[in-house]
């Protein structure tokens, strides 16, 4: 079956590695995701191999050949290396299982390639190419499942997920990334075993979630997490968006709305040289989370209206709490939360209009998030009322044009008061302290309201403000 792939696409380093192991009397195969991706026409930056050689034997084979090698994964039977710019990992055949009460896998070395493949997560990853001949080994029908776009496990899904509960998250990631349809028995096992995800470290869950969100169809992955109950454990704020529908249909389905916003935000991502190159996790995750404050703020008003006052503020707090629980880094948390907090700022612009001062504040408050905020705000329009959608689009077009016009006149992205802290202390004859900060904020407000001021005018206004301050 090797005619199914173009062996010439495989880097010569792979064959070299196979030759070395065969010369040493060991088996070795390219395995898992890299093999799957060869059949999908995708490239894999990292290459994984499996062998009957034990870690000491692996080191003996590659030590003089690799440009660099490391043994951080030795306890799991893995030796990593670099060769001519490629990263390769060679792992001893193994069986792996989770202790019910442990986050760490219990590793036992296996004795054959087929046994090793049987312990892998899904059939599409349970394929290997024996080296150096490139003979395909596919005992569980991975090629067939790729053709049929199906996601199955080599054995029972219950056994696979017991070995590593993170595989349930991985199923959702593959639904997004590879656009595979998860088999019914796999979904049933995910529902039955959803609580097992609790033993997996937050860091591992986070990495799978990021890959899911950055996939080709994150809606499919999120839907799978929600429908199986996994989201109740790792993203309960998203599950909670499925507000019960009242009989008079006085509000839209917030969950479906959020998924539509996510899809529309993806469509607005730019190319690699644009301002928001996709796939952009920050924009996508903010789109998914932007309305998570609605369940906690929903109120039924007189006359049948439904309100969600301050859901942006509440949602920002919920988003930050969830991202910290998933161990995201501070910069990513700050970027996502900032967008959630600002996503309602635009509404009302079309009706009331904004002064130049309000436009300046919008740009300044958005800061580095402005381009993402443009896209999130536009994506948040999911109404079926064409006239309303057109009115909102026109209003945002107008706002962007005003931002551009003001940017031509002044450096909006870096608005500062016309006097700095040193100037303030000199003019008022005061030392560093809180009063300098208050004066700075006063001058910044002037800058927002009036635009650039001459230095002498700024000084005059500062002295007038100072004369009014209590001593």
Q: What is the structure's pLDDT at 402?
A: 85
Over residues 206-214, the mean pLDDT reads 98
- Has residue 1 got a pLDDT over 50? no
The pLDDT-based confidence of 299 (bands split at 50, 70, 90) is confident
Two structure tokens written together for 79 = 């030796």
Distance, CA of 235 to CA of 323 (rounded, Å): 9
pLDDT tens, position by position, 251-262: 458 999 999 999
Contact 86, 47 (CB under 8 A): yes
Distance, CA of 308 to CA of 292 (rounded, Å): 11
- Which residue's structure tokens are 């692996």? 58
Two structure tokens written together for 159 = 């056994």
CA-atom Rg of the chain in angstroms: 28
Q: What is the structure's pLDDT at 92?
A: 95
pLDDT tens, position by position, 320-335: 999 999 999 999 999 9
Q: What is the structure's pLDDT at 239?
A: 95
Two structure tokens written together for 234 = 């790792």
pLDDT tens, position by position, 361-419: 888 888 899 999 999 999 998 887 888 888 888 888 888 888 887 776 655 555 678 88
Contact 369, 333 (CB under 8 A): no
Lowest mean pLDDT among 7-21, 24-38, 345-359: 345-359
Query: Is the pTM here over 0.85, yes or no?
Result: no
The pLDDT-based confidence of 96 (bands split at 50, 70, 90) is low
């Amino acid at each position: 079956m090797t005619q199914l792939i173009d062996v010439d696409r495989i880097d010569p380093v792979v064959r070299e590695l196979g030759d070395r192991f065969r010369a040493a009397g060991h088996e070795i195969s390219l395995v898992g995701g890299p093999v799957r991706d060869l059949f999908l026409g995708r490239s894999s930056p990292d290459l994984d191999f499996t062998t009957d050689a034990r870690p000491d034997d692996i080191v003996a084979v590659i030590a003089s050949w690799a440009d660099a090698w490391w043994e951080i994964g030795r306890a799991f039977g893995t030796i990593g290396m670099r060769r001519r710019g490629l990263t390769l990992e060679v792992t001893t055949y193994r069986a792996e299982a989770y202790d019910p009460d442990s986050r760490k896998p219990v590793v036992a070395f296996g004795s054959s390639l087929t046994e090793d493949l049987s312990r892998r997560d899904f059939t599409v990853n349970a394929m290997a190419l024996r080296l150096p001949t490139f003979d395909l080994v596919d005992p569980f029908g991975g090629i067939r499942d790729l053709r049929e776009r199906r996601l199955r496990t080599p054995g029972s899904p219950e056994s696979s997920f017991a070995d590593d509960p993170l595989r349930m998250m991985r199923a959702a990631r593959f639904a997004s990334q590879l656009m595979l349809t998860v088999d019914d028995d796999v979904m049933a096992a995910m529902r039955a075993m959803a609580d097992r995800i609790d033993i997996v470290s937050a860091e591992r869950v986070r990495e799978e979630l990021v890959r899911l969100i950055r996939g080709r169809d994150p809606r499919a992955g999120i839907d799978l997490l929600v429908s199986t109950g996994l989201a109740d454990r790792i993203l309960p704020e998203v599950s909670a968006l499925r507000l019960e529908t009242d009989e008079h249909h006085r509000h839209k389905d917030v969950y479906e709305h959020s998924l539509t916003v996510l899809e529309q935000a993806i469509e607005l991502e730019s190319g690699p040289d644009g301002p928001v190159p996709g796939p952009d996790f920050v924009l996508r995750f903010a789109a998914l989370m932007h309305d998570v404050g609605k369940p906690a703020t929903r109120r039924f008003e007189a006359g049948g209206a439904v309100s969600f006052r301050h859901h942006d503020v509440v949602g920002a707090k919920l988003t930050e709490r969830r991202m910290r629980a998933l161990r995201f880094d501070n910069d990513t948390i700050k970027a996502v939360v900032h967008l959630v907090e600002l996503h309602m700022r635009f509404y009302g612009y079309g009706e009331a209009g904004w002064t130049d001062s309000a436009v300046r504040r919008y740009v300044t408050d958005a800061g580095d998030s402005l381009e993402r905020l443009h896209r999130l705000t536009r994506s948040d329009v999911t109404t079926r009322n064409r006239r309303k959608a057109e009115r909102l689009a026109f209003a945002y077009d107008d706002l962007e044009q005003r931002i551009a016009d003001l940017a031509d006149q002044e450096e909006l992205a870096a608005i500062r008061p016309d006097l700095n802290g040193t100037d303030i202390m000199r003019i008022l004859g005061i030392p560093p302290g809180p009063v300098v900060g208050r004066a700075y904020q006063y001058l910044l407000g002037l800058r927002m309201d009036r635009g650039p001021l001459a230095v002498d005018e700024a000084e005059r206004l500062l002295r007038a403000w100072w004369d009014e301050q209590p001593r």
